[in-house]
Structure 1
Amino acid sequence: MESVGDLARRLVAANSGGWTPDGVKALASGLGWALKETPAGPVLDTGRSAGDARLRPVGTFEERYVGGESYVELAVPVLTAEPDDAAQAAAFREVRREVTAALGKPSIMGSHGGMGPFYDSGQLWGSPFLRWRGRPDTLELRAGKAGPELVLQPTDPAENWFWRQGVGEEYSISGYFGSNRDHANAGLGFPGGWTARSWQTVTRTLADFLGALPAETTALGIRLGMPFYGRTDRGAPLLFDVVCADRLAIGCFAPDDIDPAALGWGTVAEHPDTASIWSDDDPVWRVDAGGPGRPKGRELAELLVATARAAGVSEPTGLIVGGEASYVDDYHVIYYGLGLPTG
């Protein structure tokens, strides 16, 4: 069977013919795959064990974002895995290594969060993606329902959809989006964000973010360091340090007038694995949330919100993502899904 790396090379080199019906027929022929209609829509018989490739025709949710295309993507399943978070993250990581070896470092990386392109729902374990942006087409490695998929798509419709989500309403964009200085990103547009208007919203967005984070960082092969500052009448001191690679740990720098233990924070004695991240006494208070599938996102979010409020942060806009978190490896990352200011 053709390797994933070779398949990625062929998809990048393929001629989609403007994603018209005739162009897609020629694309299928050029790839050596049989195009057939099924009750679920058009598919291409790839002969791969992971299953048929799916074509996504332009429909109600896509039509306003296209410019003459009849299809907006060809999704090719490349590996299946057990449905648990750890297995899915490991499968994505394996494919990422193969595709990166074949195509080089992706120009874009991130997470679709709970809302994928054209309003598709994300995967419960996490929705990481990598993109090799091109013109007129882009190749994306995406978390699919049963395992990672290579998705060939016309560049403009997907980016037009993403750009138009920046309407300022709560939850209008989820996930996070990182781009590097690759020349392929010339002309890349970025939507506006949105701002959380209540602590309930912050709790929800933090829960979604933290619950999937170690699975996504494992899949993407990144290490994320994210400080949170709290604006109070004493300035904006550092409150939390979120660190995640293959597991998630959160440190708390609590002011002297609150009791972190009563809120649910532990020390290195309760969380000995955090000693590899921080020294024994700085920060004193911490939580080891575990690896893929282990973090209890809602509980962690409630802990952070309760601590921030106890420290004197009076409103959601007072909880600030440190600007240091905007730089992950060579990527500049925007955390759209949190709804929190960055500074």
Structure 2
Amino acid sequence: MNEQRGSTAGESSRAEEPLGDLARRLVAADTDDWTPEGMRAVAAELGWAWGGAADAPVLATGRAAGDARLRPVGEYEKRYVGGESYVEIAVPVAVPAPDATAQAAAFRAAKEELTKALGVPSVMGSHGDMGPFYDSQPLWGAPFLRWRGQADTLELRAGKAGPELVLQPTDPAENWFWRQGVGEEHSISGFFGSNRDTANVGLGFPGGWKARSWETVTRSLGDFLGALPAETAALGIRIGMPLYGRNGQSAPLLFEVACGERLSIGCFAPDDVDLAALGWGTVAEHPHTASVFSDDDPVWRVDGGGPGEPKGHALAEMLVATARAAGASEPTDLIVGGEACYVDGYDVTYYGLGLPTG
């Protein structure tokens, strides 16, 4: 059950308006290039009272989930703006229980309501462990959806207490993301997907980075797998990711990662690799995988669990140990299959993995 909280200041007949109606009003707001005057006009138009400190303004919405926050341009934002004084208005949508299942369900419910109001989001993905302007992200997962506009973009984001509806000027957030593509390990985390909506015309994509050690692969793969069931459940998607292992002569299929409401991983390593000793089991030991793989193909698999359940680091250690036993000598020998880059109409790049795609 959601907690009920928030200021009563600024309450109006619109205080508990449907989320879709609020989203339409935010999209239609005239932000006047995100000037102080523009933001005060937006607050007045929305019927929200301006308060808080100068460096952390709060807009009293009267909504049960809490008041909105304005983010002024500060030290971490100023390199990416072009005259804006603020880079976002964040409106809490719900305050579910802190566990991954509840958080993912609240995000998914908000997504469904917003999609009915605004249509299919043009961008989706996960911020990973580093959000816009270097913000830290929730441990359970960091999914986001965007309805991209030329001047302003609306984002549904996993906030620290629950999902948030965020209106932001388009250029600063995209400029920040694009400029993280410096090639250093972990410079970008998460994954990013865009569809063929005309709203994405002009959308730029940063360069990625490549893992230089198996320790880096273990960390990046562990972060990805640990949050994946919660993020796919929140976004309402299913990811099917083949991973190929180059062994010197060829690069056969090595793993199949499948994740919707649960994470299942199948292993296709050669017979001379002792998979039981490495931690793999059969369908008898992991019965949930029967809905993903047939009973005997692959023979070896593991059930990672649902939202909040995967032991990401342990799974990553098992996959890395298996890949090396199967003949992969360096991180570039573990290859994400191109099939994984097409997810429910989105072209997806898995920036946070640091692995080649082929």
Does the pair score TM above 0.5? yes
Name the structure 1 match of 2:206: 191
Query: Of the candidates 46, 51, 54, which is equivalent to residue 66 of structure 2?
Result: 51
| Preserved CA contact (<8 Å) 2:242 2:340 | yes
Distance 1:256 1:273 in 2: 24
Question: How far has the Cα of 1:41 moved from its partner?
Answer: 1.2
| Preserved CA contact (<8 Å) 2:210 2:356 | yes
Partner AA of 2:118 in structure 1: L
Question: How far has the Cα of 1:37 moved from its partner?
Answer: 2.4
Name the structure 2 match of 1:83: 98
| Preserved CA contact (<8 Å) 2:94 2:163 | yes
Question: How far has the Cα of 1:273 moved from its partner?
Answer: 1.3
| Preserved CA contact (<8 Å) 1:265 1:285 | yes
Query: Of the candidates 139, 143, 152, which is equivalent to residue 158 of structure 2?
Result: 143
TM-score (normalised: structure 2): 0.95
Q: Would you say 1:319 and 2:330 are equivalent positions?
A: no
Partner AA of 2:307 in structure 1: P
Q: Would you say 1:275 and 2:260 are equivalent positions?
A: no
| Preserved CA contact (<8 Å) 1:242 1:250 | yes
Question: How far has the Cα of 1:14 moved from its partner?
Answer: 0.9
Question: How far has the Cα of 1:40 moved from its partner?
Answer: 6.9
Instruction: Within 5 Å, give how 1:47-126 maps onto structure 2.
Output: 47-126=62-141
Partner AA of 1:280 in structure 2: D
Name the structure 2 match of 1:236: 251
Name the structure 2 match of 1:221: 236
Instruction: Within 5 Å, give how 1:239-258 maps onto structure 2.
Output: 239-258=254-273
1:320 counterpart SS class: strand
Distance 2:44 2:125 in 1: 32
| Preserved CA contact (<8 Å) 2:153 2:169 | yes
| Preserved CA contact (<8 Å) 1:8 1:99 | yes
| Preserved CA contact (<8 Å) 2:185 2:211 | yes
Distance 2:62 2:54 in 1: 19
Q: Would you say 1:172 and 2:187 are equivalent positions?
A: yes
TM-score (normalised: structure 1): 0.99
Instruction: Within 5 Å, give how 1:17-56 maps onto structure 2.
Output: 17-38=32-53, 41-56=56-71
Distance 2:73 2:35 in 1: 10
Distance 2:97 2:261 in 1: 18
Question: How far has the Cα of 1:234 moved from its partner?
Answer: 3.2
> What RMSD over aligned residues (CA atoms) do the two structures have, in Å?
0.8
1:101 counterpart SS class: helix
Distance 1:305 1:63 in 2: 40
Q: Would you say 1:203 and 2:251 are equivalent positions?
A: no
Distance 2:260 2:213 in 1: 29
Distance 2:289 2:75 in 1: 49
Distance 2:329 2:150 in 1: 47
Distance 2:76 2:145 in 1: 23
Question: How far has the Cα of 1:330 moved from its partner?
Answer: 0.4
Query: Of the candidates 242, 266, 278, which is equivalent to residue 263 of structure 1?
Result: 278
Question: How far has the Cα of 1:254 moved from its partner?
Answer: 1.2
Distance 2:203 2:256 in 1: 31
Distance 1:279 1:50 in 2: 44
Deviating runs (4+, > 4 A) in structure 1? Answer: none
Distance 1:144 1:29 in 2: 25
Name the structure 1 match of 2:18: 3
Partner AA of 1:219 in structure 2: A
1:126 counterpart SS class: coil
Name the structure 1 match of 2:4: none
Deviations 1:265-304 (A, max 9, x none): 0000101111111111100000001100110001100000
Name the structure 2 match of 1:155: 170
Distance 2:331 2:173 in 1: 31
Distance 1:210 1:148 in 2: 21
Distance 2:217 2:18 in 1: 43
Distance 1:190 1:13 in 2: 27
| Preserved CA contact (<8 Å) 1:196 1:316 | yes
Unaligned stretches of 5+ in structure 2? 1-15
Deviations 1:289-329 (A, max 9, x none): 11001100011000000000000000001000000000001
| Preserved CA contact (<8 Å) 2:181 2:208 | yes
Name the structure 1 match of 2:11: none
| Preserved CA contact (<8 Å) 1:327 1:333 | yes
| Preserved CA contact (<8 Å) 1:17 1:27 | no
| Preserved CA contact (<8 Å) 2:145 2:157 | yes
| Preserved CA contact (<8 Å) 2:55 2:72 | no
